[in-house]
Each structure stands twice: as C-alpha cells, then as structure tokens.
C-alpha cells in the first residue's frame, strides 16, 4: 500500500511539473461612460512553443466579464517560439465592440490589461466562428433562413426595366405590353383610355309621333344604359315602366305611346374610341346649392348667383344647372332667366296662373366656350327645350346668375332652390 501511494504521488508531481507556467491577468473593465463592461472576451492564438518547451496548440477560449470583473490565466508569450501573441475580441450587446493584441510576460503576480496590451492592435485569428473579419454563417443570424424562405421569388417572366406584378403563384413577374400601355390592378395591361366619354343633351328622338308608333331612335347607344334620361313633355319617363332600351332604340309600351304634339327629348352618356384623350369619370361635384331671394321688381334683377372658380372647368366637363321658382300673387305674370356668364342660357315668360316654374340647363364645356341646352315648364307653362352656344371663357372663372321680374308690383317671384353640379 505504501509503495502504491508513493507511485501515485510521484506521477502527480511529474504531471504538475510538466504543465506550462501561467500568468494571471486580473482587472476591472469600464466603458467610456463610466459604467462597467459586461460581456465576453474571445481570446484566440496560433500554435507556439512556450519558454519551458510546452507545445501550445491553436485554439480559442471565451472568458465572461461580469460587472467589469476580468480574470484569466494564460501561458506567457514573450519568450515563445516562434514569437506569439493573443488576439482578444471584446463582445457586448450582441456584437463585436473592438479587438486588441496581448503579449503576456511571465509573472508571479496578477497583471492588469494595460500591462499586456500591445501598442498596435491586430485582428484576432479567424477561427471560423464568424466575426468582423470573416464571413458570418447564415445559421448564426437569427431568423435569416426563415426570412429568406418567405421572400418573393422571380418568375421566368421577370425582366428588368418593366413594371413588376405578382403572378397567380405569388412570384414576381413583369407586366407585358407596349411601353405606352396602362397596367390594371389585376396585373393585366392594355391601351390607356381605350374608350372616351361623350355627352348628348336635349336630343330629339327620331321617329313619327302619331299616337301609334312606339319605336324611336337615338343618335348613339347610351353607355351606361342607366345614364339615359328620357323626357316626354318635360316629364321624366321610367325605364321598364314607360319604355325599354335596346342599343340606340327606344321602345315605348303601348299604353304610353307618344301622341301627336308630344315632345320627346333625351340626355345620356356615350363611350367610344375617337382618338381623343378621355376624361376620368369621377363622382359629380356640387359647385353651388342653396336658396335664392325674391323680388317684386318690374325689371330683371339678380335673385341668385353661383361663382365658379378659375381653373376648375376644362374641355370635356359638363355643368348641370337646376332651379325651382315660386310665384306669389295672380295680378300679373313674371319672367325667369339663367345666365351663363354673359350668355342667356334660359328665358321663360310665365302666366299669372303659374305658381311654380322649374328648369334645367346644361353646359357641355368645349374648346373656346360651351354648348348649352335647356328645358323648363311650369304650372300652366308648357314644356319647351332649346340649344345654344356660348363663347364665354371658363379658364378664369365664370358666374352663373339667376334673374327674375314681375309684371305687377304686388306679385313676388322667388328663387326657392338652385343647384349647380360639375360632372367631369
């Protein structure tokens, strides 16, 4: 037993004697703002032979620094063969903060970092773990593989310099077509503005009004069909109840066959490719709406005004003007006028029995002016329609005026309501 114990003790002493000497590096590390550094130090080195001929192989070691406290033991390198040093990489907040080089001398007392730091910093040897001097493996980046898998992929039809669309498989493709085409929301393409919008106002229907004929024609097919406003003696007709529309043909029901002397007028929109630049049909815009005033003047006076701002109207727009007037008294008649700038677009002389008069005037804006149309009727005032043209410029703004007069001082004519709507 004694011999066996003695042999173990001798072997242990030999093993301790064979281990290279170590120098302790102990310090407290701070940041520039005065707070203590917390993180890790990755210390790496290449193979060298220590002063006691111990073979030190290439490797690296990670040392934790908690609340600034650093303590690590390293083999001295100042007398190594070949000359060696330690590359130290400081890691904090998930990234490499900086690097430096240590030359460690033999010492029986703990040394501070300033005692082993060399004057010139050198990058640490690349160990393949990824860092500021080497490539970072994809697997080391959190979420990168999943993000790359979720990214859109290019389809075979993808081409540079074209509008990108998402095809039915979710891949990025390029829109096909000519450079001047427009791309729709579904990814398809086609000529921009392949249809233009037109307006027909106060058109007289073609056909014999003899009480038996029920088929009448329009100059074009309304598009959309719901845009057709058909009037018979100033009364708006109702589709499917009074008539049906097939293309440009209006077919009245037998019970509503127009009688001799009836007036048939139609207003509607059309579409077709006429080579012009089409206007985008947006929601109508109310420019003016309200009630006017009354007058008992025997000469025309203003009873309501709508001021259209400069730059608002352009060729292709349409302005719809509607009004209602009331008459108090029966001593005499009265008159109503609607002015488009300096042009009279509607004038009616009503009888004493007309308690109410209503009317509609439209202005289709064209280059150099407007094409006007009007319709009006009253309690006993017969329906009438007319067309005219106006050369009033609209680019600088325009005033729409409503005027009235009475033939007897005791009577009053009042503009009870007016509305001006812009349809682009």
Torsion of CA 29, 60, 125, 23, to 10 degrees: 60
Backbone angles phi, psi at 113, to 5 degrees: -60, -35
CATH classification code of 19-116: 2.60.40.3390
Q: How confident is the model at residue 12, as a pLDDT?
A: 55
Q: For the full predicted model, state whether its pTM sits above 0.75.
A: no
Q: How confident is the model at residue 158, as a pLDDT?
A: 82
DSSP state of 5: H
Q: How confident is the model at residue 272, as a pLDDT?
A: 56
Q: How confident is the model at residue 186, as a pLDDT?
A: 78
Q: How confident is the model at residue 145, as a pLDDT?
A: 73
| Largest CA-CA distance found in the chain, in angstroms, rounded | 150
Domain residue extents for the chain:
19-116, 196-272, 285-423
Q: How confident is the model at residue 111, as a pLDDT?
A: 93
Mark residue 340 as left, alpha or beta (left: phi above 0; alpha: psi -120 to 50; beta: remaining): beta
Q: How confident is the model at residue 150, as a pLDDT?
A: 73
CATH classification code of 285-423: 2.60.120.200
Please list, in sequence order, all residues whose beta carbon lies within 8 angstroms of the beta carbon of residue 172, skipping any fewer than 6 positions away. Answer: 152, 153, 154, 155, 158, 164, 165, 166
- Per the DSSP assignment, residues forming a β-bridge with 66 are 69
Mean pLDDT of successive 10-residue stretches along the chain, which has 424 residues: 56 60 93 91 92 89 93 92 90 86 92 85 45 63 74 80 83 81 80 67 87 90 89 91 92 92 90 46 72 92 89 84 93 93 94 94 91 94 93 88 90 93 81
Q: How confident is the model at residue 115, as a pLDDT?
A: 93
Q: How confident is the model at residue 175, as a pLDDT?
A: 84
Contact between residue 124 and residue 88 where contact means Cβ atoms under 8 Å apart: yes
Q: How confident is the model at residue 11, as a pLDDT?
A: 54
Alpha-carbon gap, residue 231 to 245, rounded angstroms: 14
Q: How confident is the model at residue 124, as a pLDDT?
A: 42
Please list, in sequence order, all residues whose beta carbon lies within 8 angstroms of the beta carbon of residue 177, skipping any fewer than 6 positions away. Answer: 183, 189, 190
Q: How confident is the model at residue 283, as a pLDDT?
A: 57
């Amino acid at each position: 037993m004694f011999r066996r114990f003695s042999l173990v003790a001798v072997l242990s002493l030999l093993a301790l004697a064979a281990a290279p000497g170590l120098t302790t590096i102990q310090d407290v590390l701070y940041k520039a703002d005065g707070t203590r550094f917390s993180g890790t130090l990755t210390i790496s080195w290449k193979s060298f032979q220590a002063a006691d001929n111990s073979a030190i192989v290439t490797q690296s070691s990670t040392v934790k620094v908690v609340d600034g406290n650093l303590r690590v033991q390293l083999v001295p390198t100042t007398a190594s063969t070949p000359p060696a040093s330690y590359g130290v990489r400081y890691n904090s907040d998930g990234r490499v903060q900086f690097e430096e080089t240590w030359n460690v001398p033999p010492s029986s007392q703990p040394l501070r970092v300033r005692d082993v730091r060399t004057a010139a910093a050198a990058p640490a040897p690349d160990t393949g773990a990824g860092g500021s001097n080497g490539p970072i493996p994809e697997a080391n980046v959190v979420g990168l593989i999943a993000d790359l898998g979720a990214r859109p992929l290019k389809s075979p039809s993808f081409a540079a310099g074209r509008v990108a669309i998402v095809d039915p498989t979710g891949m990025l493709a390029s829109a096909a077509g000519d450079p001047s085409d427009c791309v729709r929301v579904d990814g398809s393409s086609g000529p921009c503005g392949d249809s233009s919008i037109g307006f027909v106002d106060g058109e007289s229907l073609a056909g014999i009004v003899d009480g038996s004929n029920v088929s009448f024609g329009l100059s074009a097919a309304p598009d959309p069909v719901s845009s057709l406003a058909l009037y018979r003696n100033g009364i708006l007709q109702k589709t499917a109840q009074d008539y049906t529309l097939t293309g440009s043909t209006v077919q009245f029901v037998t019970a509503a066959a127009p009688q001799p002397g009836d007036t048939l007028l139609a207003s509607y929109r059309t579409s077709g490719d006429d080579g012009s630049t089409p206007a985008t049909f947006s929601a109508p815009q109310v420019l003016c709406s309200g009630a006017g005033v009354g007058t008992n003047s025997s000469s025309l006076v203003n009873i309501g005004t709508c001021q259209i701002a400069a730059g608002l109207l352009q060729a292709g727009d349409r302005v719809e003007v509607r009004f209602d007037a009331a008459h108090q008294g029966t001593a005499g008649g009265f008159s109503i006028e609607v002015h488009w700038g300096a042009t009279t677009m509607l004038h009616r002389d009503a009888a004493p029995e007309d308690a109410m008069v209503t009317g509609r005037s439209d202005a289709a804006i064209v280059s150099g002016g407007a094409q006007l149309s009007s319709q009006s009727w009253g309690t006993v005032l017969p329906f009438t329609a007319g067309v005219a043209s106006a050369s009033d410029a609209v680019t600088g703004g325009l005033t729409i005026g409503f005027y009235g007069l009475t033939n007897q001082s005791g009577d009053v004519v009042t503009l009870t309501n007016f509305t001006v709507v812009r349809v682009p």
